[in-house]
């Protein structure tokens, strides 16, 4: 049996053209914590998941408040996870409303979602919004990880041209903004997102050679891994084996998707590496976020499950009309029912993500215990284009600082950025104000 030695928290496995982070191991904990296996305090992560077009409020918003609330039809897929998230109602992004610039609520809903800043309707490349909460965090704590932040999405976007009533496409395509004039482009290709996590920047030739011979990143770092395992105790060796297995399986899934893409009829080409099945695409991206957090490759992530005004159809749940078109339902019951199906479908995928986080043991808890996952939209009612009473779920325990399992009903027009400012505190960002924040959301306190 090998003698266990101490390891720095930022330990990497190295190979030609690759760096691979590791999950939290007992060997990374202080000696006393290692003996007790309790004291090691993992970092807190944060993710922001955006869905477009608002929701059907009566099927989303619970009637009761506090812990004894009843899950609504839309939220039913989260029943087994009820103790691990809060439903928050009453939040508002006041700067999403028009300010003399007319229509364009969908574009504004995305641009304002994480910034709290009103985007300006300008022509050409001249855009201006605000700094988003994820990038505010990345600027303060991003130096602690391989990637300051990770931006993911499902639908392609562009930063040029007009996409909504004269608003630049940059507003509809991005929720992450490094500066008021610099959006952070999202990655929609699982393969490229994976390489961003594990490929060494600048080594394009090495990555191309690796792909040519279909070598796994685990093969590349194998020698370093064998040396590492000789230094670890039994529990850590088991953790490493489980971790490698999950990485290998994710790689294989991505490879299967790419291989399937080469077999499609030439008349229907799709970008290489992007799954044909929408659900597989969604879940791959969710899995990549779990992997990024598990390896501490980043502690900040954003994910757009659709661009602002997305008009995707959902035939898998019997909805063949576009999402955006249906959102202008004019109170027609058949359209409302179809929208509820879309809302519930996305909640099912969100439940999948939370289950994955909950399944990863970390320290004395789970990855979900040490995360804060905000899932919401920049529109409250897509039919009326409202920017008040926004749908928001906050999952995870924030390292034990968030009391979950409740419906928190806030006073009307509570700034969304009060919630975000409270999350920034919990990752140690040390920021006094963001966007239109007016204080902290004390209702979260554990």
- The 10s digit of each residue's pLDDT in 261-301 is 554 445 534 334 688 899 999 999 999 999 999 988 899 99
pLDDT of residue 32: 43
Does any domain span residue 200? Answer: no
- DSSP-H helix ranges across 264-305: 278-294
Does any domain span residue 257? Answer: no
Q: Three-class SS string for 219-244?
A: HHCHHHHHHHHCCCCHHHHHHHHHHH
pLDDT of residue 25: 74
pLDDT (tens digit, 9 = 90+) per residue, 109-129? 999 999 999 998 865 557 889
Report the pLDDT averaged over residues 316-343.
96
Higher pLDDT, 110 or 249: 110
Higher pLDDT, 136 or 101: 136
Q: What is the DSSP string of 125-136?
A: T-------HHHH
Report the pLDDT averaged over residues 74-78.
98
Higher pLDDT, 203 or 8: 8
Give yes or no for a contact between 180 and 168, defined as CB atoms under 8 angstroms apart.
no
Q: What is the mean pLDDT of the chain?
A: 85
pLDDT of residue 290: 94
Instruction: Measure the CA–CA gap between 394 and 372, rounded to whole angstroms.
Output: 7
Does any domain span residue 47? Answer: yes
Does any domain span residue 86? Answer: yes
Least confident of 55-59, 231-235, 243-247, 267-271: 267-271
pLDDT (tens digit, 9 = 90+) per residue, 47-72? 999 999 999 999 999 999 999 999 99
pLDDT of residue 37: 43
Share of the chain above pLDDT 70, in %: 83
Does any domain span residue 220? Answer: no
Report the pLDDT averaged over residues 8-35.
64
pLDDT at 366 over 80: yes
pLDDT at 145 over 80: yes
Instruction: Measure the CA–CA gap between 142 and 240, rounded to whole angstroms.
Output: 25
Model pTM score: 0.83
Higher pLDDT, 154 or 216: 154
Does any domain span residue 397? Answer: yes
Instruction: Measure the CA–CA gap between 116 and 104, rounded to whole angstroms.
Output: 16
Instruction: Measure the CA–CA gap between 372 and 123, rounded to whole angstroms.
Output: 37
pLDDT at 383 over 60: yes
pLDDT (tens digit, 9 = 90+) per residue, 77-103? 999 999 999 999 999 999 999 988 888
pLDDT of residue 304: 98
Of 78, 308, 292, the closest CA to residue 175 belongs to: 308
> Residues with Cβ < 8 Å from 415, sequence gap 6 or more?
91, 92, 93, 94, 116, 435, 436, 437, 438
CATH of the domain at 152: 3.40.720.10
pLDDT of residue 213: 47
Q: What count of Cα atoms within 13 Å lies in the side-chain half-sphere of residue 198?
A: 30
pLDDT of residue 332: 95
Domain with 413, as residue range(s), is: 40-188+276-444
Number of compact structural domains in the chain: 1
Does any domain span residue 54? Answer: yes
pLDDT of residue 40: 55
Give yes or no for a contact between 392 and 418, defined as CB atoms under 8 angstroms apart.
no
Of 333, 326, 372, the closest CA to residue 59 belongs to: 333
pLDDT of residue 131: 96
Does any domain span residue 328? Answer: yes
In angstroms, the Cα distances linking 167 to 302, 322, 433 are: 22, 21, 27
First to last CA, the chain: 42
Higher pLDDT, 227 or 345: 345
Q: Which H or E run contains 105?
A: helix 105-113
């Amino acid at each position: 049996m090998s003698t266990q030695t101490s390891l720095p928290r930022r330990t990497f496995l190295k190979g030609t053209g690759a760096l691979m982070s590791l999950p939290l191991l007992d060997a990374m904990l202080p000696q006393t914590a290692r003996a007790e296996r309790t004291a090691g305090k993992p970092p807190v992560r944060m993710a922001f998941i955006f869905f477009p077009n608002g929701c059907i409020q009566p099927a989303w918003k619970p009637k009761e408040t506090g812990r004894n609330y009843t899950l609504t039809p839309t939220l039913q897929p989260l029943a087994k996870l009820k103790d691990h998230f809060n439903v928050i109602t009453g939040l508002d992004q006041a700067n999403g409303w028009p300010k003399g610039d007319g229509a364009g609520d969908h574009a504004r809903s995305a641009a304002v979602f994480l910034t709290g800043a009103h985007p300006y309707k300008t022509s050409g490349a001249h855009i201006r919004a605000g700094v988003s909460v994820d990038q505010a965090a990345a600027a303060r704590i991003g130096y602690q990880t391989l990637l300051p932040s990770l931006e993911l999405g499902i639908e392609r976007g562009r930063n040029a041209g007009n996409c909504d009533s004269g608003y630049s496409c940059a507003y509809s395509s991005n929720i992450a903004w490094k500066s008021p004039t610099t959006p952070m482009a999202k990655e929609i290709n699982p393969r490229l997102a994976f390489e961003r996590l594990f490929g060494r920047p600048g080594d394009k030739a090495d990555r191309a050679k690796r792909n040519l011979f279909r070598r796994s990143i685990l093969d590349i770092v194998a020698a370093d891994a064998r040396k590492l395992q000789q230094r670890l105790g039994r529990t850590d060796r088991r953790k490493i084996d489980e971790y490698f297995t999950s990485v290998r399986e994710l790689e294989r899934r991505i490879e299967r998707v790419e291989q399937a893409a080469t077999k499609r009829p030439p008349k229907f080409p799709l970008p290489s590496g992007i799954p044909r099945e929408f659900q597989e695409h969604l879940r791959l991206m969710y899995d990549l976020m779990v992997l990024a957090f598990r390896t501490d490759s980043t502690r900040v992530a954003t994910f757009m499950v659709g661009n602002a005004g997305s008009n995707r159809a959902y035939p898998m749940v019997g909805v063949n009309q576009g999402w955006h078109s249906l959102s202008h339902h004019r109170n027609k019951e058949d359209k409302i029912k179809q929208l509820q199906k879309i809302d519930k479908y996305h909640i099912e995928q969100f439940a999948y993500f939370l289950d994955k986080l909950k399944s990863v043991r970390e320290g004395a808890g789970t990855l979900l215990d040490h995360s804060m996952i905000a899932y919401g939209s920049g529109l409250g009612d897509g039919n009326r284009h409202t920017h008040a009473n926004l749908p928001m779920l906050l999952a995870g325990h924030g390292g034990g600082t968030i009391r979950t399992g409740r419906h928190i009903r806030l006073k009307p027009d509570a700034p969304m950025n009060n919630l975000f400012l409270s999350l920034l505190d919990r990752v140690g960002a040390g920021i006094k104000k963001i966007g239109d924040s007016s204080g902290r959301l004390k209702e979260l306190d554990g």
